[in-house]
């Protein structure tokens, strides 16, 4: 039992009656009150993780800033919580920017990313007073110079030629990456920006991917930045992996930062400001998705089908990400089954070969470590209504994003 509980937010436990409790709330009670599927976020765990990043970074490098990679969970309430804990925010487009502004994030601490920023993205960023725009291509420079009237701080994103061990879909530092500028183009961008009277080149940015479980490649990426000379600001990206399965052993925040900041001390100027962008590793463990079992089908394989699936968790289909699961009131152990969704795809599998104890129709099933990218990529396949987000803390629960209604599915029709 303890193995699966360890994948849930810190403090999760089974109570005397055998019910799984997260943030002081029984998951079965949340399912009864808010329906299923639903994303449950332990607000206390989320805030504690944000403080951990903030404090561990500050302890290693004085002039530094942690900014949340909002793509991992672009929910206004999540952004507000991490901003209240002292973090900034990175956004990849106008839509994420809207959430950051609504959450009250200090615009000076918002960084705009994106490999294909549109005119609208840039105009909204300028109007919002976004502190830094990350230059991903030379067209970014053209678009910005046409629109900026006052000075705008920018960073140049470098391709460091580092390929970490992760899924190809989330690797971004290799030589053929669609993100960033190869060294020759990065140098051209640097020279051009140094001659601009509207764009202020503060420094460099690098990011090598996501769900990376070995800290060494992060240090290699920092070393690559030293070839460009000295700058005032270095944004070292994010990418630290989260623990999804029993076998995953990602570095701790402290271990990750020891490698990252150790490389910065060796290769970067001591007076520079360092920025990091935790995303997945900040929010994954704080999130849980709850479902209700609709049917159990036994045959050549045992299928336990629930009322959600790839409409609320695309990670399995897109990246082959493994998730564990448990029946909420019979925690851990059991027979090996395939936990599948309700969508019309054979690939709609939440977890193949997962152990569930005596699964029955009506059971609440909980999937841990769904705080990253599940809400991000939720969709309406087969007319599914996108789930709510429920914050739990100290036994209290509140909805911060409501469940879509059937009327919402028609709302954009003309």
Instruction: Quote the CA–CA distance of 84 and 87 in Å, as a whole number.
Output: 7
- Phi and psi at 202, nearest 5°, equal -90, -30
The size of the chain, in residues, is: 414
Instruction: Quote the CA–CA distance of 124 and 144 in Å, as a whole number.
Output: 12
In a 3-state reduction of DSSP, which class is residue 285?
Answer: coil
Tokens of 384: 């599914």
| Active-site residue (options: 25, 75, 89, 344) | 344
Instruction: Enter the DSSP assignment of 371.
Output: -
Q: Based on DSSP, count helices (H) and strands (E) in the chain, helices before strands.
A: 13, 20
Contact status, residue 273 vs residue 63, Cβ threshold 8 Å:
yes
Q: Is 344 a catalytic residue?
A: yes
- Phi and psi at 220, nearest 5°, equal -65, -40
Q: What angle do CA 271, 203, 54 make, to 5 degrees?
A: 60
Pairing status of strand 287-298 against strand 302-306: antiparallel
Contact status, residue 173 vs residue 217, Cβ threshold 8 Å:
yes
Contact status, residue 256 vs residue 211, Cβ threshold 8 Å:
no
Contact status, residue 326 vs residue 351, Cβ threshold 8 Å:
no
Instruction: Quote the CA–CA distance of 220 and 203 in Å, as a whole number.
Output: 18
Q: What angle do CA 22, 24, 26 make, to 5 degrees?
A: 60
Instruction: Quote the CA–CA distance of 291 and 280 in Å, as a whole number.
Output: 22
Tokens 């920006």, residue? 193
Contact status, residue 208 vs residue 237, Cβ threshold 8 Å:
yes
Radius of gyration of the chain (CA): 22
Question: How many CB atoms neighbour CB 33 within 10 A?
Answer: 12
Task: Name the residues annotated as catalytic.
Answer: 344
């Amino acid at each position: 039992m303890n193995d699966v509980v360890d994948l849930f937010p810190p403090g999760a436990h089974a109570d005397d009656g055998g019910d799984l409790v997260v943030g002081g709330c029984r998951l079965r009670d949340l399912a009864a009150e808010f329906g299923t599927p639903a994303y449950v976020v332990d607000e206390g765990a989320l805030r504690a993780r944000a403080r951990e990043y903030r404090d561990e970074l500050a302890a290693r490098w004085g002039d530094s800033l942690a900014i949340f990679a909002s793509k991992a969970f672009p929910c206004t309430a999540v952004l507000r919580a991490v901003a209240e804990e002292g973090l900034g925010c990175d956004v990849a487009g106008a839509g994420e920017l809207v959430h950051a502004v609504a959450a009250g994030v200090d615009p000076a601490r918002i960084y705009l990313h994106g490999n294909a920023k549109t005119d609208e993205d840039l105009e909204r960023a300028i109007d919002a007073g976004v502190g830094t725009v990350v230059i991903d291509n030379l067209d970014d420079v053209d678009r910005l110079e046409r629109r900026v009237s006052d000075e705008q701080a920018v960073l140049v994103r470098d391709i460091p030629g580092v390929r970490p061990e992760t899924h190809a879909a989330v690797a971004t530092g290799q030589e053929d990456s669609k993100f960033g500028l190869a060294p020759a183009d990065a140098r051209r961008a640097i020279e051009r920006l140094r001659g601009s009277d509207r764009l202020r080149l503060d420094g460099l940015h690098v990011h090598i991917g996501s769900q990376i479980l070995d800290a060494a490649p992060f240090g290699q990426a920092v070393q690559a930045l030293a070839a460009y000379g000295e700058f005032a600001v270095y944004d070292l990206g994010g990418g630290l992996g989260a623990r999804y399965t029993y076998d995953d052993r990602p570095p701790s925040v402290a271990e990750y930062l020891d490698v990252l900041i150790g490389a910065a001390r060796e290769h970067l100027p001591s007076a520079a400001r360092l920025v990091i962008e935790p995303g997945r590793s900040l929010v994954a463990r704080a999130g849980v998705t709850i479902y209700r079992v609709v049917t159990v089908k036994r045959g050549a394989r045992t299928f336990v089908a629930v009322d959600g699936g790839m409409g609320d968790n695309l990670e399995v289909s897109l990246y082959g990400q493994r998730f564990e699961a448990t029946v909420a009131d019979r925690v851990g152990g059991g027979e090996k089954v395939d936990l599948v969704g309700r969508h019309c795809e054979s690939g709609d599998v939440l977890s193949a070969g997962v152990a569930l104890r005596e699964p029955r129709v009506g059971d609440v099933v909980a999937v841990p470590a769904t705080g990253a990218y599940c809400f991000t990529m939720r969709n309406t396949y087969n007319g599914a209504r996108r789930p709510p987000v429920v914050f739990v803390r100290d036994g209290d629960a509140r909805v911060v994003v409501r469940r879509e209604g059937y009327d919402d599915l028609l709302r954009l029709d003309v």
